[in-house]
Every structure is written in C-alpha cells, then in structure tokens.
Amino acid sequence: MAPEDSGLILIATAPDRPGLTAAIAGAVSAAGGNILDFEQHVDPYELIYGCRVVIDGRELFDRLETAMNELQLAHEVSWQLHRSTERPRIVIACSSTLHCVGDLLVRSLSDDLPCEVVGVVSDKDAAASLARRMDVPFVHVPVGEMREAQEEAFGAALELLQPDVVVLARYMRILPAWLAEQWEHRMINIHHSTLPAFPGANPRRRAHERGVKIIGATAHYVTAGLDEGPIIAQDAVPVANDTLEALVQRGEDVERTVLARAVRLHLEHRILVFGNRTCVLG
Amino acid sequence: MAPEDSGLILIATAPDRPGLTAAIAGAVSAAGGNILDFEQHVDPYELIYGCRVVIDGRELFDRLETAMNELQLAHEVSWQLHRSTERPRIVIACSSTLHCVGDLLVRSLSDDLPCEVVGVVSDKDAAASLARRMDVPFVHVPVGEMREAQEEAFGAALELLQPDVVVLARYMRILPAWLAEQWEHRMINIHHSTLPAFPGANPRRRAHERGVKIIGATAHYVTAGLDEGPIIAQDAVPVANDTLEALVQRGEDVERTVLARAVRLHLEHRILVFGNRTCVLG
Amino acid sequence: MAPEDSGLILIATAPDRPGLTAAIAGAVSAAGGNILDFEQHVDPYELIYGCRVVIDGRELFDRLETAMNELQLAHEVSWQLHRSTERPRIVIACSSTLHCVGDLLVRSLSDDLPCEVVGVVSDKDAAASLARRMDVPFVHVPVGEMREAQEEAFGAALELLQPDVVVLARYMRILPAWLAEQWEHRMINIHHSTLPAFPGANPRRRAHERGVKIIGATAHYVTAGLDEGPIIAQDAVPVANDTLEALVQRGEDVERTVLARAVRLHLEHRILVFGNRTCVLG
Amino acid sequence: MAPEDSGLILIATAPDRPGLTAAIAGAVSAAGGNILDFEQHVDPYELIYGCRVVIDGRELFDRLETAMNELQLAHEVSWQLHRSTERPRIVIACSSTLHCVGDLLVRSLSDDLPCEVVGVVSDKDAAASLARRMDVPFVHVPVGEMREAQEEAFGAALELLQPDVVVLARYMRILPAWLAEQWEHRMINIHHSTLPAFPGANPRRRAHERGVKIIGATAHYVTAGLDEGPIIAQDAVPVANDTLEALVQRGEDVERTVLARAVRLHLEHRILVFGNRTCVLG
C-alpha cells in the first residue's frame, strides 16, 4: 500500500507572515501526525503562503481538525483536510469530439483516475453510445431556440448530478458568467492550444496556418473570461511539416494527457489558486 | 476531405544505386499520378534505399501496379501499394494492466486509429469486461501447467482472428521465437522503459531505484530477442522526486501515447525496417 | 567524412504540378548525380512545391547548374545549388543580454555552426569584451537623439560587413520596415516566448504573471510586422512554481538551443519559405 | 533584487522520525528567520528525511548556526548553511570535445552560472586557446607512459586549484577510485546518453546503430563505478532519421543544457544525495 493510501492531506493558505511553517508543522506534530511530505510556496504577486502536507495515519482526522481550527483563529489560516482514500464525483461535459471524454472514461475504469464519473453531459448526442458502454448516465442538453434555456438546463443537470468537479472535455459552448462563478475552482476546461496563444475558436487550424513548430494544450479552471482562467497544466510537442490532420492528431495526444493530469492534480488536492495563477505542489 | 483520403501510398525499397528516385517518380508520373509527398532515405548501415510516396487518385491503382512490376524487374525494387482508405484488422494482446488496451480500444472507436479491432487476447481475464464494453471478442488463453500449450493456444488465437497487425499492449509473457518470427514486422510491443535502458522485468521499479530523472516508453517490432526488436517510437518526460506510484502514472501516460503513435505509423505505412532499425517517414 | 561534406545541396520550388519530382530527380540523374536524400513537400495554402536534394559529388556543380537552368524554363522552377562545404558569413546583433550571442560565438569556434562570424553589432557596449575575446570585430551603434540615425547606422554596418545571414540574438530594438525588407529571409530573430503567445516586450514577465506551465522560445525570419515573420524553430519546456528568475533561466536555455538550431538549419539550406510559413526539411 | 539574493539557504538531513519539520521550522522561526520556501522529502529506500529552507535575512547566519547546532544534538540532524551570494570556485576538466567546456565558460561570464571558474584541466591541449580567451588558467596534464602518473598529476592539479566543485565536461578518461572518492558529491560528470542506456564508450554511435528515437544526456556525481553515480539531471529529445552527425549535434545541445542545469542545481544547494539517488529540490 502506498503511504498516501492510509493518510491525510492537509492544504493550508494564509497571508504570508513569519512562523507559518513552524506553526502548521507544529500543530501536526502535536496532534501526533508524522509528516511524509511538506511543500510550501509563497505567491510572489499575492503574497499568500500555501502548503500541502501529507500525513501518515488517517485516524488523526478529528484531532487535526481541532488543531487546524485553533490555527485558523490565530493565523488567518484557511485549510482543508482530506482522506487520501476519497473518490470524488466528477461530471464530464463534451460535444462532438470524443477523444478527451473517451480517455477520461477509460481511465476512470482503473485506478489511474481515483474518482467516480457520475454523468456525461453534452449539447450533442455523439457521446451517448460511449457513455452507455461505460455504464455512465448520459444527459443530453441540446441547443434549441434560446441559448439561455440551454445554459439553464446545463446548469441544472450539473446541480442534479452533484459532482465535486466538472470537467469540460471539449465542450464547445461558451459558459455564461454565472455558471463559471458557481463552479469556481471546481470546473476544469481543456483548451487545444498553448494559451495564451490562440484563444477562442479553431486554435489548431490557426496554429497550422501560422506555421508553428510546437503544438500543445492547456487545462485551466474556468472563469467568466473566455480561456483566461488559472492554468493548471500545459504541454507541447514538436511538429514538423505536418498536414493539418496530422497536427490535430498530435495535438489531441497532448490534450488527453494534459487534461487527465490536471484532473488528477485536482483530485489529489495538489493545486493552490492564487489570484489567476495556480501553484501545483508535488 | 484530406488529400490522402482519396489517394494511394507507395512504399518501395531497393539496394541503393543512382537513379532510383528518378525511376520511381518517373514511373508514377508515367502512370498519370500526381505526387503529393515524396520522402526518401538511404540506410547508412544496410545501404538500402527506401521511399514513401503519396499519390493523388486511387483510380490509378492498377496502372501503378503494372508500372511497379516493371521497375521491380529492372531495379530489384520491392514495393507495396496501399489505398489510404484501408482499415486494417488488429488484435490487441494484454495481461492485467489495462491502460494501454483501454486507450487503443477507445481510440479505435473514433478515426484516431483507422483500424478495426477484431479481438482482445489475454492470458488473464482482467480485460474481459473492457472488451465486452467495446463489443470486441475477448479470447482468454490462460497459462496452465504447460507453458508451451499456452503459447500454442495464443498463436492459434491470432491465426484464427487473422489480423493485419498484432499489438502487445502490456502482454506480460515472453513470446517464443517461432511466434515472433511468424509475425515479423507485424507485431508491435510496448516496453515501459526507454530501451535499451531497463530491458526485461520491472523496468519502472528499477528506474525509480536508480533515481532516473526521465521516464519513458518504447514501441518496437517483436523479434526473437527480448526487447531487442527495431524501435518504432520512443518518448520520455521529466520526473522529479516522484513516488514510485507517481512515476508509474507519468510513465503510463507516455506508454499510451507512444504505443498509439507506433500503431498509427504502422497503419499509415510510414515505417521502413532496415535490419534492426526503422526509418519512420513523415 | 560525412557524405554531405563532399556533396551538393539543391533546393527547388515551383508552382505545384504533376511530374516535378520526376523531372528534378531525372535531371540530377541525367547529370550523373547520385541522390543521397530527397525530401519534398507541397504547401497546402500556397500550393507551392518545394524539395531539397542532397547529391553525392561536388564535381557535378556545373553540369547540374546547366540542367537546372533548363528545368527553370520548362517548369517555372526556382532553384539554388550549394556546395556543402560553404562557410557562410554571419553577423550577430545583440543588446545587453549576452547569453545568445555568447552561445553562438562559442559554437562558431567549433564545427557546431559551420560559419564565419564576421561581426557583432550592438546598440549597447555590453558585448564588446565578449567579441574581443572571440577575435570578432565589434561595431557599436548607440542610440542617440534620432532613432532614424541609429537605424541608418545599423543598416550601414550590416552592409559593410556583407554577411550572408544576420542573427538578431536578443537585439532589443524594433527594426524599420526597410531594413526587414532588405534582409528578407536572411535575417533571423529569437523571440523569448512561444509565439504567437506574448509578442512584444517583456514576454517572460508576462508569462510568469499569467502562470504558464511551459516556457519557450521562437526563432523566425524578420519581417516588417513585429514578431510576425515565418517561424523556423520553436521549443518549450515545463516549468513548475519557479520564481521569475528561475523561469528566465529555464527560458534562456531554450533560447540558446532554438536560436542555434534555426541558424544551423538556415546554414544547411533546410528552410523553404512559403508565404508566412516555413517548411523545414530533414 | 531577488529574494534569495539577500538570504540564507539551509539544508538539513536526518534519519526520518516524526517532528523534524516542526523542529527545523521552529528553530528558524525562533532565530527570527522568515521562511520563504520550505521543501521536504523522505527517501523511500534509505528512510532519510531531507529539507531545503530558504530564509530571508542573511544577518541571521550566526543565530541560525547556533540553533542548528542544538538541533543536531537533539535529532541527529546533519546540516549546512549557505549565504545565497556565495560564488563557489569551479574547475572544469575536458578532453578534445569542447562544446561543454565552451558552454560553461561562456555562461560563467554572466550571472547564468554564479561561480568563479578557477581553472580548466585537460589531458589534451584542445581547450588551451578557449581557456586563454576566457582568462582562465589552463593546466595540461597529458598522458605519458604511465597512466597512474597522469592520474596523480590530474589529482594534484585539482588540489592545487582548490575548487568547491569539479565538472567533468567530456573529460574522456576513467577516474581511479581514489580520485572519485576524494571528490565524492563534489565532482559532476556529463555522460552523453540517457543512463543506464549506453554506459561506457561511444554511446552516440551505439544509439544510432540501435535506431533509438530519443537522444539525451545525463549529469551525475562521479563514483568509483563507471557511469553509475547518483543522477542529478537528465533530458532527451526526439530524433527521426538523422545521420549520425545530426544525432550527435542534437545530443550535444542536450548535453550543454543538462550539464549547465546540474552545475547550477549544485551551486544553489538543491541536491540531496540519498545512497545512489539524488533528490532535487525546487
């Protein structure tokens, strides 16, 4: 059994000040916890301290909770405590392009993504058969005459499914601000370019026309601004004189990996968000 | 429609001598074909010339066949002519680890891998449910008292399914030489290290113990020598102070991509084999 | 001796039409040349055919020249013929940041960059000592009251030094259109971002503020539009929670490699320019 | 000014036990230090705890020294305390291949490598002119009739120059065990393959013959076992159908970057060595 499997994960942030690491590590020690991993950073723009602590022994949950409540009062520390055995609920949204949703579904069958996929939601019906193969409920929210009606229905579907995190796996509709805000820091999108290059529509075609020599993808939290949220994961690979079709395929391989990595980082509580930047720990 | 969709792909090899490119391009032109792509290399060790030619117009198949037959007599040219719309039959072999077979199956549902998966063959039953979800026949060839009996049964299953190419997607048994030879240049294996580093068993654990800073994977044609066949595709990504579990996950992401790329290169007739090396075109 | 050392390199472009490869390869064969490498592409936007041919035997220069002159008339073929032993003259322009100019100078001491550096030109004097160490003339073209005067002086310095190619190795001034046009396809710039992300000033700082997870660089031919010319080479590497200083260092490592690669590709006649895209051969 | 420029760097290791992070962070806090960065790991094989702490305020050096001495007694903590403004002395050893020594020398001219190169030592005279250009003493230790005599002379040259770290930048002689042991964890070698692939001589040629699809390099601390020491940094890039010459060039680009990165990590006190593995912090 991996050490983390029997352990706790503590995330804490606070306005930076001297003594925070000593205080937090001291609190864990006082509660009887052995620290397996401790990683800390201070955001240079927001001057926020953040740390992630892996602690041996899940039986300490209650005592750590008490200890952190005390720290919260003394040092303005915000914190979360997770059992490493949690399997969060996720919903995947997609449209007609299925490589990302397919990849996430097949990963969720194994331990590769420690989560439970509780639904696939789409404005198209292309993914219906795929979801059925995987025994995952499929919710079709087609676009009718009123854009707003579809957005309401999409939001309602999410609320009904009660996921811990929503993954936009090539869901090709622009979300209204209210939805982005409702799921702030709990909704991950994959954009098929190395943002901030090629935001918006058709990034691959524009990359091909521009003659770029690398092709990549970006996973980010969704915010009200299109393709502007905090970046979680990014990668790029070299391309040569590829046709547009070959470049799309190379890019889709990057998308799969980047999106799965971002979801996994989120599930493992490795992402701190400071303003519009993320700090990824470990 | 992509140009290649309506076209022909010509692969030709010959002992190197002056005039081969002129002769081959001349033959295509004389047959009325427009060359969309022409790539040629000479292997520096075997002194073998090889080229891949993409030709517009599949209606030229018969005329090109005639032209190449004439070249074959004149210049010792070996050649194959393929329609770009072919969908070869593939069989996937696996054991208990399912990330590669899952990835290939889900890719084969879309155009990402232009092939038909006609069977999953395994010494374990772990992939049975996955194959059933994908409506692909599952053949269980368990290991009993006699190793040779299992090998015979495995070989028989392949023959029965009549694939154009066999993909060993983490099939954890060493193949007998006769099987490797029977499927020479038509059987692709993924090894979970950057060969020739860490051949054989448990490469990830050995990489972790050795403290490597990159982790990768290698797809190669199977030969009688374990992990020694011609390399088709390889990749590696940086790792830091990962746990063994994290390193395995990073490596499995590379495996998925490298194996899918190798299969795609094979399906697109982009691989020339010269002795124990491959030349990958385009 | 490498095969290319005793050979010729032929570059040819033409409006795409059937028969070009046969015609060109036939001309080379008729002139007695053995083709070591032949690579061809058709630009999908401009519909221009281009090829690069490596030919064994530099004694064939005159006969090939004659043959290509005939092709030029028959097929609108534009072409260049180079001896692979040429050592082109290059001028490096820089400002206060010296990692790129230092890298190019030290590479030019060995065979790594087959060229002769005939001058370093700069608006600052920071590189003077470095150029002197390398026995390369240093031309200081400071900015005075009139921007245009400096531009004229910079242009005059280039003309005086008569380079085959000019490399802007972090030269931090925007070139006037007339200069860009004068050196069209013979002037290479390194931009310290993965264009089209972060064009213009301070790309590294903006990348850090944006929280990107990859950092890279772009080498491109200079055109009148700022950071908009045809891209020759690009690369990117992952970054984690780096300070701005660490991110700059990681990025500068990419810059050195990408710029040197672009210069080498240019020196080896591997770059075809089609409109605003390059096709890099081999 | 970067935060680290005015700070202290504390490295501490100890047999793993609960409470170490609390104790160390507590000691720093008690001494009045603000922790800017704290990173900790436990080696899973040796069960050794290690951390690197960046502390604001170099005026705290003496107080921290006292505090750590007390911890050393209480918790078996081994530690080092460094001022971030130190510029260690380095010696570079090389043979006839000059790309790595050239790269390190030109980097040391700027802040890219915060060190003072106090000598270049070589068994060949190829680097003499390069060292002279850089105003660095060159020590020629040629191989005569007795191998041992050369080894003695090489060791004596190192002792005379009193470096903090020795960099073997393609020094092509096998070191005797006594020299490796004398400079344990203070001597860095670059090997031109992705170890453990292709240890020993001619790794690039063997990689080319083997038909690998990635080419890389490995920087490691020197131990008595050839190419077996703890790996500090590694990287690899894709190669296609390159000639041996092109593959060597691609590989040399990786060597430059990997070796410079390893030296920088060492200079920044980011490397913990646990048995035959390194843990690289930050």
Element spanning D207, H or E: helix D203-210
Contact assignment for A29 to D37 by CB distance below 8 Å: no
* Spatial CA neighbour of A43 closest among A219, A231, A276, A262: A276
Q: Please say if B5 is a catalytic residue.
A: no
Average pLDDT over residues A84-105: 96
Distance (Å) from the C-alpha of residue C230 to the closest C-alpha of chain B?
Answer: 21
Q: Which residues of B touch C52 (CB under 8 A)?
A: none
Q: Does C105 touch chain D (CB under 8 A)?
A: yes
pLDDT of amino acid B242: 86
Residue A86 has phi, psi (to 5 degrees) of: -55, 145
Q: Does C38 touch chain B (CB under 8 A)?
A: yes
Distance (Å) from the C-alpha of residue C273 to the closest C-alpha of chain A?
Answer: 10
Q: Which residues of A touch C254 (CB under 8 A)?
A: none
> By percentage, how much of chain D surpasses pLDDT 70?
98
Higher pLDDT, C106 or A282: C106
Task: Give the dihedral of Cα atoms B176, B177, B178, B182; nearest 10 deg.
Answer: 110
Q: Confidence band (pLDDT; 50, 70, 90) for D37? A: confident
Q: Which residues of B touch D41 (CB under 8 A)?
A: 241
Q: Is the pLDDT of residue D75 over 90?
A: no
Contact B209, D249 (CB under 8 A): no
Average pLDDT over residues A21-36: 90
Q: How many CB atoms lie within 10 A of CB D126?
A: 15
C89-280 — its CATH code? 3.40.50.170
Kindly report the average pLDDT of chain B as a whole number: 93
Q: Does D49 touch chain B (CB under 8 A)?
A: no
Q: Confidence band (pLDDT; 50, 70, 90) for B56? A: confident
Q: Does C196 touch chain B (CB under 8 A)?
A: no
Segments of chain C with pLDDT less than 70: 1-5
Average pLDDT over residues D227-245: 93
Q: How many CB pairs under 8 A join A and B?
A: 60
The C-alpha atoms of residue A46 and residue A14 are separated, in whole angstroms, by: 11
pLDDT of amino acid C4: 47
The C-alpha atoms of residue A237 and residue D212 are separated, in whole angstroms, by: 18
Q: Which residue of C has its CA nearest to D255?
A: C257
Contact assignment for A253 to B245 by CB distance below 8 Å: no
Q: Choose from B20, B36, B40, B279 for mutation: most chain C CBs within 10 A.
A: B40
pLDDT tens digit sequence for D97-124: 999 999 999 999 887 899 999 999 999 9
Q: Does B211 touch chain C (CB under 8 A)?
A: no
Which of the residues D227, D235, D242, D253 is marked catalytic? D227
Residue A142 token pair: 């087609």
> Could you tell me which residues are beta bridge partners of residue A234?
A218
Average pLDDT over residues B251-267: 97
Q: Which of B93-102, C93-102, C239-248, D140-149 has the lowest mean pLDDT?
A: C239-248
Q: Does A20 touch chain D (CB under 8 A)?
A: yes
Residue A35 token pair: 């620290």
Contact assignment for C29 to B22 by CB distance below 8 Å: yes
> By percentage, how much of chain D surpasses pLDDT 90?
82
pLDDT of amino acid A252: 96
**Bridge pairing between strands D138-140 and D116-122:** parallel
Between positions 149 and 188 of A, the ones with CB within 8 A of B are none
Residue D136 has phi, psi (to 5 degrees) of: -115, 130
Q: Choose from A4, A17, A28, A38 for mutation: most chain D CBs within 10 A.
A: A38
Contact assignment for C42 to B36 by CB distance below 8 Å: yes
Contact D9, D53 (CB under 8 A): yes
Contact B164, B172 (CB under 8 A): no
Between positions 232 and 271 of B, the ones with CB within 8 A of D are 232-236, 238, 240-241, 243-244
Contact assignment for D231 to B238 by CB distance below 8 Å: no
Which of the residues A125, A227, A242, A253 is marked catalytic? A227
Q: Does A79 touch chain C (CB under 8 A)?
A: no
Task: Locate the domains of chain A by residue range.
Answer: 3-83, 89-280
Q: How many CB atoms lie within 10 A of CB B62?
A: 10
Residue D264 token pair: 């920088």
Q: Choose from B48, B188, B202, B213 for mutation: most chain D CBs within 10 A.
A: B213
Q: Confidence band (pLDDT; 50, 70, 90) for D5? A: low
pLDDT tens digit sequence for B165-182: 999 999 999 999 999 999
Q: Confidence band (pLDDT; 50, 70, 90) for B3? A: very low
Contact assignment for B22 to C20 by CB distance below 8 Å: no
**Bridge pairing between strands C7-15 and C48-56:** antiparallel
pLDDT of amino acid D35: 87
Q: With b meaning 16 or more CB within 10 Å and e meaning fewer, what string describes C95-127? A: bebbbbbbbbbbbbbeebbbbebbbbbbbbeeb
Q: Measured between CB atoms, which of D18, D25, D37 is closest to A41?
A: D37
Kindly list the strands in the beta sheet with D187-191, ordered across the sheet, starting from the edge strand earlier in the chain.
D138-140, D116-122, D89-94, D165-168, D187-191, D214-221, D231-238
Q: What kind of fold does domain C3-83 have according to CATH?
A: Alpha-Beta Plaits (3.30.70)
Q: Does B280 touch chain A (CB under 8 A)?
A: no
Contact assignment for A134 to B134 by CB distance below 8 Å: no
Q: Which residues of D touch C134 (CB under 8 A)?
A: 133
Contact D278, D271 (CB under 8 A): yes
pLDDT tens digit sequence for A50-74: 999 999 878 899 999 999 999 998 8
Q: Which of B217-221, C28-32, D115-119, D168-172 has the lowest mean pLDDT?
A: C28-32
Q: Which residues of C touch A236 (CB under 8 A)?
A: 194, 214, 216, 236
Q: Which residue of D has its CA nearest to C238?
A: D235
Contact assignment for A133 to B133 by CB distance below 8 Å: yes
Matching residue, tokens 């900790």: D40
Higher pLDDT, D135 or A282: D135
C partners (3+ CB pairs within 8 A) are A, B, D
Q: Is the pLDDT of residue D4 over 50?
A: no
Contact assignment for B213 to D280 by CB distance below 8 Å: yes
Distance (Å) from the C-alpha of residue A238 to the closest C-alpha of chain B?
Answer: 12
Between positions 51 and 70 of D, the ones with CB within 8 A of B are none
Q: Does D208 touch chain C (CB under 8 A)?
A: no
Matching residue, tokens 């201070």: A42
Q: Does C20 touch chain B (CB under 8 A)?
A: yes
Distance (Å) from the C-alpha of residue C46 to the closest C-alpha of chain B?
Answer: 14
Contact assignment for B99 to A105 by CB distance below 8 Å: no
Q: Does D2 touch chain C (CB under 8 A)?
A: yes
Contact assignment for A260 to B253 by CB distance below 8 Å: yes
Distance (Å) from the C-alpha of residue C235 to the closest C-alpha of chain D?
Answer: 11
Spatial neighbors of A218 by CB under 8 A, at least 6 apart, are: A190, A191, A193, A194, A195, A227, A231, A233, A234, A258, C213
Kindly report the average pLDDT of chain D as a whole number: 93
Q: Choose from A204, A231, A241 for mutation: most chain C CBs within 10 A.
A: A241
Contact C42, C8 (CB under 8 A): no
Distance (Å) from the C-alpha of residue A15 to the closest C-alpha of chain D?
Answer: 13
Residues in chain C: 282
Contact assignment for A213 to C233 by CB distance below 8 Å: yes
- What is the CA angle B111-A214-A260, rounded to 5? 55
pLDDT of amino acid C5: 59
- A3-83 and A89-280 share one fold: no
Contact assignment for A35 to D20 by CB distance below 8 Å: yes
pLDDT of amino acid A5: 59
ipTM for the whole complex:
0.93
Q: Is the pLDDT of residue D43 over 80?
A: yes
Q: Does A37 touch chain D (CB under 8 A)?
A: yes
